[in-house]
Structure 1
Amino acid sequence: MASITIDLSDSQFQKLQDLAKAHDIAIEVLLKASLEDWLNLQKGDFVNTADYVLLKNAELYRRLA
């Protein structure tokens, strides 16, 4: 497993601590879950855009084939 180090301001770190405490989870768990959600959202956006382009240009692709 890879690891990463990032610099946070004191206020950013405090907000993370507060949020993790509010959900009764470790900061690391909160960050991993948030990152996973963000990565999946990005993939979904790409797939949706690709599907739109392929559908929109389907006739053109058929003629070019």
Structure 2
Amino acid sequence: MDTFTIELPEEQARRLREQAEEAGVTPEEMLRFTIQEWLTRPGQDFARAAAYVLQKNRELYRRLA
């Protein structure tokens, strides 16, 4: 497992600590979860967008084929 060190402005660090405390986790756990969620989204967003475009233009694609 890799370790990353980041610097946050004091206001962002304070907000992170507050949100983590409200969620009952450490700031590190909050960041880890958020990053995991973010890293899985791009593929899901692309798949959703592609399915939408294909569905919306199905008839056009059929005529062009």
TM over 0.5: yes
Cα distance in 2 for partners of 1:6, 1:44 equals 27
Match of 2:27 in 1: 27
Between the aligned partners of 1:9 and 1:36, the Cα distance in structure 2 is 22
Sequence identity of aligned pairs in percent?
A: 36
Structure 1 distance, partners of 2:19, 2:50, is 35
* Number of aligned residue pairs: 65
Q: What RMSD in Å do the two structures reach over aligned CA positions?
A: 2.0
The runs of 5 or more residues in structure 2 that have no matched partner are none
* Paired position in structure 2 for 1:47: 47
Deviation at 1:49, TM superposition (A): 3.1
d(CA) in 2 for partners of 1:58 and 1:2?
44
Q: Tell me how far apart the structure 2 counterparts of residues 47 and 3 of structure 1 sit (CA, whole Å).
A: 30
Q: Match of 1:36?
A: 36
TM-score (normalizing by structure 1): 0.71
